């Protein structure tokens, strides 16, 4: 019996409050992979943190 389930579920929890999951395709024979929304969410969180830190630094540099 062969299984066609090549997806692994990845669960991410931030500070025990924010939790999300996404599926990772682990089939090496598949040439075209399905778009994975988890990577988009992680990159948006990363961009928000980077922009927030830059804005905070800029505001403090104006005050001094």
Q: What 3 state SS string does the chain have? A: CCCCCCEEEEEEEECCCEEEEEEEECCCCCCCCCCCHHHHHHHHHHHHHHHHHHHHHHHHHHHC
pTM: 0.44
Give the per-residue pLDDT at 14.
81
pLDDT digits (tens, 9 = 90+) for 8-49: 777 778 877 778 777 766 666 655 666 778 888 999 999 999
How many domains, the chain? 1
Asked if the structure places residue 2 within a domain, the reply is no
Give the per-residue pLDDT at 42.
92
Which residues lie below 8 Å from residue 47, measured CB to CB, with a gap of 6+? none
pLDDT digits (tens, 9 = 90+) for 49-62: 999 999 988 877 87
Give the per-residue pLDDT at 27.
62
> Structural domain of residue 47, as residue ranges?
7-63
Asked if the structure places residue 53 within a domain, the reply is yes
Which residues lie below 8 Å from residue 11, measured CB to CB, with a gap of 6+? 19, 20, 21
Asked if the structure places residue 23 within a domain, the reply is yes
Asked if the structure places residue 1 within a domain, the reply is no
């Amino acid at each position: 019996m062969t299984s066609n389930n090549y997806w692994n579920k990845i669960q991410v929890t931030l500070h025990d409050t924010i939790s999300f999951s996404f599926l990772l395709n682990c089939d090496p024979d598949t040439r075209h992979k399905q778009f994975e929304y988890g990577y988009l969410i992680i990159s948006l969180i990363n961009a928000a943190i980077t922009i927030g830190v830059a804005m905070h630094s800029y505001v403090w540099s104006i005050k001094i």
